[in-house]
Each structure stands twice: as structure tokens, then as C-alpha cells.
Amino acid sequence: MSFSQATFDFYRDLEVDNSREFWTARRQDWEEHVRQPMLELVEALAGEFGEAKIFRPNRDVRFAKDKSPYKMHQGAWVPVGPAMGWYVQVSADGLMTGGGFYHAEPAVLKSFRDAVNGDGGTLQRRLDELPRAFEVAGDRLVRVPRGYDPEHPRADLLRHTTLTVGRRYQTLPANVVSQVRRDWRALLPVIDWLDEALADI
């Protein structure tokens, strides 16, 4: 079993009716066309990348203005370190693969910035060498943080508070497992740099 048009159709319908009633009526579609293919995907990749966490479909709406009960995508995460690793997601928009770090405590963020300040040229080269289809993203400060040179050659990287690299597919690759494996392998030099830079935290 693999992702199919039925996967995208489920999320397009959920965009129209994000309700518990819809979910109850279509839960079997989610199980068959979303959850099971995701389980099979991460199981096929586990031998090389490690065990994945498949996220729950329910949203945490306790402090959210939007009280829609269900997420508009299904994601899975393979941790390498705290808040760092590989990611894959399906939604109405298609398939997304990626990696990086999505959160950093102050001490972790300082280690990242210190590493960028020192050996960050290696990280920049690895990002530059990725296939052009990958997009470097993440939250960033408006200015270079205090304590670092505002004119630093890697000022843009120093402004990051999270750093992610991703690639999107509007149509499914012929072999999803093989494509996710290729994308994660392409990101390995970046993940390795981040893992080493933050290893002492």
C-alpha cells in the first residue's frame, strides 16, 4: 500500500469539513489511505534512518483561536537529537520531505550560533550543494543577535532561531519510499553538521 490520489482527496475533503462528524464518517479512509501508508513508509526507512514518530491527527486547540479539531496534514519525524532530525508529510498539497531543527532552547541556540560563527562555512557549503529543489527555511530574527558581528559573512544563518530544509512534490513520485530515501540522504551532510554542532548540549 502507498499514498495515492485518495490520500489527497481525503485532505481536500477535510479542508471543506474539518469536524468530528466528518472524521467519524471517514476515519476508515484516513486509516487506509493516510496512516497505513505512512507506517509502511517509515518502517521501510527505519533500518537506515531510525524509528519514526507518527504524529497524531488531532490538533491541540487549548490555546488556539482556530478550534478546528484535526490537522490538515499527516507528518512523521525521525529524531537525531532534541528537536532535530528528518521529516516527511502528506497533505492536500502533496508530499513534503525535509530535515533540520524546529526548536532550540537558549543554550542549544547559542551553540548553533557559535558553530555558525566558527565553522559555519562548512554548513553554508553543504546547504549550497543541495539540489536546487530544496528550500532553506526556518524562523529568523530581524537582526543578527547581540554578541555577533552584524557584518558577519554568514549573518543570515546567525539570524536563524530554527533551521529547516525541505522539498515539495505536488504529484507523487513513482516510488515514494525511494524518493524520500534519496532526499533524506541528500540532507545527511546538513543533519550531520547540526548533530555535531549541538552534540555537547
CB 61 within 8 A of CB 25: no
Per-residue pLDDT of 67-80, as tens digits, reads 899 999 999 999 99
Cell numbers found for residue 167: 522539498
CA distances (Å), origin 97, targets 16, 50, 107, 118, 187: 25, 16, 28, 29, 10
- CATH assignment, 5-197: 3.30.930.20
Which of 167, 176, 172, 173 is closest to 43 using CA atoms?
176
119: part of which helix (H) or strand (E)? helix 106-128
Per-residue pLDDT of 122-146, as tens digits, reads 999 999 999 999 999 999 999 999 9
Cell numbers found for residue 190: 546538513
Q: What band does 200 get if pLDDT is binned at 50, 70 and 90?
A: low
Percentage of the chain with pLDDT > 70?
Answer: 98
Q: Is pLDDT of 102 > 60?
A: yes
